[in-house]
Chains A and B, each alone.
Chain A
């Protein structure tokens, strides 16, 4: 910069001119310097370039701050607007809804029935050998319909068991309520 050849007073006036602060005689005076003095014109150009840079920097800073403020404020406002806005539920046919509920209920009932039947079957398979606990030299037989149903009384204890056995001279199954009194009277 050739500002060193300019007086400080002239530099201040050139700066004020660059900023648009001079009017009247002072403005004419400075414009006279710019037309006649190369150093003054160069200094003014440099000031103008600097001014442009400052202006560009200011604009960039404004845009950045605007973006920053948008990120926060706009997001908050958008969220507030979304919450405040009335939400309209989709209209669903009552018949369709009932049909759907019936289908779901039917599937649940079917699943429960299947689970129950599996439970009963597995439980029956587990209990069957206990109810027909083996006795010496006798094979239980459950295929034939005995015509007799037996429910053991709980108070009878573990010594009482029920056997479904094949008779030697009869095709049907015989039912035996057996009381194990080994060592008794």
Chain B
């Protein structure tokens, strides 16, 4: 009786261990496949920020980005940039300039990108602004580009 109980107990533990291994292998094998198939993308909100007497925020913006003293925020455009590794992705801005994101690396779950802007005088090339390492879905803002009495603020969110 005691032997049978021990034997059954051992089989139960062995089965649970085997099941855990199978589930773990499935999860491990599944994760890289998903990230490999779907490259991350950057969702960019182009916001026109101006100084005004009465504060107003476009409801389409959602979480209000800090605009450094510009109280009136209006969503101008919303774009999605693919972030293929080491390939620059660009979008045209209302002020005639071009914003560029370059995905340079992925460190654990974080994405490293380089943000650049084309020159204000319309000449060719880009001026690198900053290397940004961001958690997925964590927004950051790049702004200050002059536009119609105010500035453009780009709220960027990298989506896996």
Interface string of A151-185 (1 = CB under 8 A from B): 11101100010110111111000111111110011
Q: Looking at the complex, which one of B68, B97, B151 makes contact with A163 (CB distance below 8 Å)?
A: B68
Q: Which residues of A contact B96 (CB under 8 A)?
A: 185
Q: Contacts A138-B68, A167-B64 given: A174-B129 contact, CB under 8 Å?
A: no
> By the criterion CB–CB under 8 Å, are B129 and A156 in contact?
yes
Closest to A155 in B: B128
> By the criterion CB–CB under 8 Å, are A177 and B145 in contact?
no
Q: Looking at the complex, which one of B69, B129, B143 makes contact with A137 (CB distance below 8 Å)?
A: B69
| A85 sits at the interface (CB 8 A) | no
Q: Which residues of B contact A135 (CB under 8 A)?
A: 68-69
Interface residues of A in 121-168 (CB under 8 A from B): 135-138, 146-153, 155-156, 160, 162-163, 165-168
Most buried by B among A137, A151, A179: A179
Q: Which residues of B contact A160 (CB under 8 A)?
A: 129-130
A180 to chain B, nearest CB (A): 6
> By the criterion CB–CB under 8 Å, are B134 and A181 in contact?
no
How many chain B residues sit at the interface, stated as a range, is: 20 to 34
Q: Looking at the complex, which one of A147, A151, A153 makes contact with B138 (CB distance below 8 Å)?
A: A147
> By the criterion CB–CB under 8 Å, are A148 and B140 in contact?
yes
> By the criterion CB–CB under 8 Å, are A150 and B131 in contact?
yes
Q: Which residues of A contact B53 (CB under 8 A)?
A: none
- How many Å lie between the Cα of A181 and that of B68 in the bound state? 13
Closest to B121 in A: A185
Chain A interface main SS type: strand
B15 to chain A, nearest CB (A): 41
- How many Å lie between the Cα of A146 and that of B127 in the bound state? 25
> By the criterion CB–CB under 8 Å, are B140 and A177 in contact?
yes
Q: Contacts A147-B134, A179-B117 given: A156-B128 contact, CB under 8 Å?
A: yes
- How many Å lie between the Cα of A137 and that of B131 in the bound state? 27
- How many Å lie between the Cα of A136 and that of B144 in the bound state? 13
> By the criterion CB–CB under 8 Å, are B141 and A176 in contact?
yes
- How many Å lie between the Cα of A34 and that of B56 in the bound state? 149
- How many Å lie between the Cα of A136 and that of B128 in the bound state? 25
Q: Looking at the complex, which one of B66, B143, B151 makes contact with A166 (CB distance below 8 Å)?
A: B66
Q: Looking at the complex, which one of B64, B121, B130, B146 makes contact with A177 (CB distance below 8 Å)?
A: B130
- How many Å lie between the Cα of A147 and that of B110 in the bound state? 9
Interface string of B81-120 (1 = CB under 8 A from A): 0000000000000011100000000000000001101001
Pairs across A and B, CB under 8 Å, 25 listed: A146-B140, A148-B132, A148-B134, A148-B135, A149-B132, A150-B132, A150-B133, A151-B130, A151-B132, A151-B133, A160-B130, A163-B66, A166-B66, A169-B64, A174-B139, A174-B141, A175-B132, A176-B140, A176-B142, A177-B132, A179-B117, A181-B151, A184-B146, A185-B97, A185-B120
B: which residues have CB within 8 A of A? 63-66, 68-69, 95-97, 114-115, 117, 120-121, 127-135, 138-146, 151, 153
